[in-house]
Each structure stands twice: as structure tokens, then as C-alpha cells.
Amino acid sequence: MKEKLLALLNEDARYTAAELATMLGVGEGEVRDAVAELEKSGVIRGYKTLIDWASVDDVHVTAIIELKIVPQADEGFEQIAERIAGFEHVESVYLMSGGYDLCVIVTGQTFQKVAMFVAKRLATMDGVTSTATHFVLRRYKDMGVAMCDSPDDRGRISL
């Protein structure tokens, strides 16, 4: 039931415990306990709202930055990744296979601010040997949700 519960919450975090219980065919108390346990153990890290910022304002900028790093003895990539993750504007940090080491997703109010953040904060860090910044121009799909409306084109009624 844990996997099914997580799949439902991943689909819509606002399902109530009663609704989740109905959909899973278990008791409401059981759902509450399971969610509490998943939160406590850190499997569930939080609940957020998926916002299409483009329809709110046009000064919300996201960039994906490829970083190449010299790994440090003992620590590998851990320490530098944690230091980067500490910045408020950094939304995500991933260790990557392939042509570069860390993928950093940064959000900011303007292209300029994001660019300056990369130049001043990231590029200058010890161990960072190169950066490549790619700005997001448009979101078509985010977190599994399409960012454009696709109206229900079925008839109202069919047998």
C-alpha cells in the first residue's frame, strides 16, 4: 500500500486522508499513520504547488547550469554539492553521469541576476573548473504535468 499511497500523493498532494483511504480500500487511520511515518522517515520531503510562473509574470527565470568539478579527496563531490545546495536561489542539485559533474537548477528574477549568481558565486568556488549556463525559455511540461491546456474534446454523452 506504501507504493500506491505515494503514487496517489505524487498525482495530487491535496487528496484528503478520507479520499486516499477510499481509493486504496483501507481505513482512514491507516492512511494517516502511513503518511506520518513516510514524513517522519523522510520519504516524503514536503508538499508544494506546481505553478506556471509564465502566466503570472515574465520575470521569473530558470537556468540549468552544468558544472565541472575537481572531486576532493575523501569527500568526493559531497561537500561542494552541499555548499551549492545551500544557496537560496538553487532549486535543485544533481550529481550527473556523462560530460559534466553537477547539474544545478537556479531560479531568479532576471537573466542578469542569474548570470551574476553563476559568475560570482558558482564559478569562483574552489574545485569548480567550468560552468555552462542554459536558460529555460519555455516550459512545456513540469513534474509530469503539461503546461498547456488540452480541452476535453469528447462529446458530453456517448454510450
Rounded CA separation 68/108 (Å)? 22
Question: Mask of contacts with another protein, 96-135, x by CB under 8 A?
Answer: ----------------------------------------
Rounded CA separation 84/69 (Å)? 12
Work out whether 156 is an interface residue with another protein (CB under 8 A).
yes
Q: If binding means CB under 8 A, how many residues of this protein chain bind another protein?
A: 18
Burial class of residue 138 (count of CB atoms within 10 Å of its CB; 0-12, 13-18, 19+): exposed
Task: Considering only residues 12 through 31, tell me which ones interact with another protein, judged by CB under 8 A.
Answer: 12, 15, 19, 22-25
The three cell numbers locating residue 32: 494517516
Work out whether 148 is an interface residue with another protein (CB under 8 A).
no
Nearest to 24 by CA among 37, 7, 43: 7
Work out whether 157 is an interface residue with another protein (CB under 8 A).
yes
CB of 29 to another protein, least distance (A): 16
Q: Cβ contacts of residue 158 below 8 Å, gap of 6+?
A: none
Residues that bind another protein (CB under 8 A): 4, 7-8, 12, 15, 19, 22-25, 150, 152, 154-159
